[in-house]
Amino acid sequence: MKKTNVLGLLLLGFAWAGFAQEQTNLSQIEQLDEVVISDSRFKLKRENSGKTVIKISKQELENNQGRTVAELINTKSGIEINGSRSVEGQNLGSFVRGGNNRQVLVLIDGVQVNDPSLVSNDFDLRLLDVNTIESIEIIKGAASTLYGNAAATAVLNITTKKSSTDKIAGSFLTVVGTNQSQDDLNYNGANFTNNVSINGTLNKLSYLASFGNRYVDGLSAAKSETPENDPFSRYNTNLKLGYEFSDKFELTAFASYDKFKTDIDGFPPPFYTFSDTKDTYTSQQKRVSLSPKLSYKNGSFQVNAALSKIDRETISDFSTINEAKSFVVDAFNKYVFNESFYTIIGLNYGDYESLFVEDESFTNTDPYVNVVYVSDSGLNLNIGGRLNNHSEYGSHFVYSLNPSFNIPVDKGYAKVFGSYATSFIAPNLSQLFGFFGANPDLQPEENITIEGGLEFNTKNGFRVNGVYFNRNEKHTIIYTTAYENATTDATVHGLEVEAEIDLIENLSVSTNYTFTEVKDGVRLRIPKHKANASLGYNFSEKSFASLNYQFVGSRTDLNFSTFVNEDLSSYSLVDLYYSHKLIHNKLKLFATVTNLLNEDYFEILGYTTKGRNVSLGLNLNL
């Protein structure tokens, strides 16, 4: 791609937008009761929920255009998405509450998604186009009773964009930016993102089709004196159709094709030290899903079914080809007895298959039940159980008990909550039968998580909460010369604190702090202390600006040249965002500056991190 100098465009965009803005006083908007869904699958007021569910809303997504899914999630408490600050295409490590990828479950429109050929059986967030997403709910802690195997530290519940109620509507987004390291600030255009969608509603038929692509060049994965560029390219195609047969029956169908290719660096012979290489990695996923829903008085019956096919290829001195399939069906009945009593009964089935030396597979068949009780006195209970029937490991029962109590305080509330929950994590196909270190004799990992917390919310622009967690791992799957179960239990505990303040008109402040500690042993790349803060200001109905800060404390990482653990220093990052609407709800310009102070640091030992980068974008809605 032809490189262009975008610094002048960025400065011109800032100056012009600032010149054009009109200072106005925004009318005070009454804050509605926030509704959470993920922790019970019912729409509950936040004060009646026994968890601190994080909601990344449509508005927050719009105020962070230009960022990736991983970068957005990485600003939330209790979460470290390692690799999101490094070269585009870097492997991502989802370290939530001291865990890793295999303990995080991803849902897209209520359907479980994963890759059975990956070591952690997780979903690769690099496949996602953030511009197709309506909102993200994050529930932290054990949620296996509602969502099954792997939901031990977090569930990422991603909802894709909905169709417009107009007959036809469309949107177009384009972003051009730099992609440069701390010691090479050339400000050349090397980061390009585009997305186009058309959608609408024709009588009872709703439709949405979108296409997106992202191309990033200019950095090397390996941090070296003579680096070579390792470009990343991705394509996303999505089609979503819905038909409302009647007030009681509707059907939604979804199809997507996602593919990315990235150059990677590796460990070539004869010395096997990390260096620039001509290696490449390609991953593509085809997915179709079908979701019929039948509503009746006081309840509904719904089926979420999805078929996924994944193909991955690594070309290097250790080349591999992976083919995998997964078929998931989640059928559940939700019934509301009255305003106080909610129940959900379901059956979840998963069939996972992957090609190694030969085809390998296993299945899960899990009946589950969850009950929610909301009393007038302020006492709330969320209780659930699931019988995990694994084709290789037999039956395991997991359960959760999540009480909370809230009392009215003026127009808001104060809430105390706690939970005790168990989780079951079966070994993955790659760990059992894969190319490197496979061990067919592995035992399942079992987790017990205990939480306790407080929340105070005025519902008038001020909310603060804190939660303590303690998670015990039994039979933790580790890698030495091969995969094996740890002989001793592991315990991770920590504290998460969040605050949101909107007491001054047009000014919003949000901040969070996380303390994570492994009581015995060391977990690589997990900071003991981490903090995020965001300051947002609406200059007018047309102009918005935000200042974002992130602190990541010291960590431990493995030096692959010496195979000795090393301590990595803490670092701080400052980002700026500015947007201006040229035409209300139609045309918006936005600009970002990331790593404003050009902080030089290691996120992963030996790998390149991003220096100061700028971008300029345009979003058009028709």
- The pLDDT of residue 271 is 63
Q: Which residues contact 316 (CB under 8 A, 6 or more apart)?
A: 264, 266, 277, 279, 280
Does 17 have pLDDT greater than 60? Answer: no
Q: What is the pLDDT of residues 560-573, one digit of tens each?
A: 778 899 999 999 99
- The pLDDT of residue 97 is 95
CA distance 102 to 582: 44
Query: Can you tell me whether residue 48 is helix, strand or coil?
Result: helix
Q: What is the pLDDT of residues 39-57, one digit of tens each?
A: 888 888 889 888 878 999 9
Determine the average pLDDT of the residues in 516-541: 93
Residue 19 pLDDT class (50, 70, 90 cuts):
very low
Does 5 have pLDDT greater than 70? Answer: no
Determine the average pLDDT of the residues in 131-156: 92
The residue whose two tokens read 């300029």 is: 616
- The pLDDT of residue 562 is 80
Query: Can you tell me whether residue 613 is helix, strand or coil?
Result: strand
Q: What is the dihedral of CA 557, 558, 564, 566, to 10 degrees?
A: -20
The residue whose two tokens read 């008085």 is: 297
**Which helix (H) or strand (E) covers residue 342, if one does?**
strand 341-355
Q: Six-digit token pair at 332?
A: 């559940």
Does 30 have pLDDT greater than 50? Answer: no
**C-alpha distances in Å from residue 91, one per residue of 21, 82, 83:** 41, 8, 6
Percentage of the chain exceeding pLDDT 70: 94
- Least confident among 6-20, 315-329, 353-367: 6-20
Does 503 have pLDDT greater than 90? Answer: no
- The pLDDT of residue 12 is 39
Does 25 have pLDDT greater than 50? Answer: no
Assess contact for 423 and 70: CB atoms under 8 A: no
CA distance 465 to 387: 33
Assess contact for 148 and 348: CB atoms under 8 A: yes
Does 483 have pLDDT greater than 60? Answer: yes
- The pLDDT of residue 33 is 65
Determine the average pLDDT of the residues in 392-396: 92
Residue 164 pLDDT class (50, 70, 90 cuts):
very high
Q: What are phi and psi of 300, to 5 degrees?
A: -160, 155
Does 399 have pLDDT greater than 80? Answer: yes
The β-bridge partners of 389 are: 365, 395
Determine the average pLDDT of the residues in 588-594: 97
- The pLDDT of residue 267 is 81
- The pLDDT of residue 29 is 33
pTM (predicted TM-score) = 0.92
Q: What is the pLDDT of residues 330-353, one digit of tens each?
A: 999 999 999 899 999 999 999 999
Determine the average pLDDT of the residues in 202-223: 95
Q: What is the pLDDT of residues 82-136, one digit of tens each?
A: 999 999 999 999 999 999 999 999 999 999 999 999 989 999 999 999 999 999 9
Does 23 have pLDDT greater than 80? Answer: no
Determine the average pLDDT of the residues in 439-461: 94
CA R_g for the chain: 24
Of residues 357 and 161, more confidence is placed in 161
Q: What is the pLDDT of residues 308-332, one digit of tens each?
A: 999 999 999 888 899 999 999 999 9
Determine the average pLDDT of the residues in 517-523: 87
Percentage of the chain exceeding pLDDT 90: 81
Burial class (CB within 10 angstroms; exposed 0-12, middle 13-18, buried 19+) of 281 = buried
Q: Six-digit token pair at 335?
A: 């019934």
Arithmetic mean of pLDDT over the chain: 91
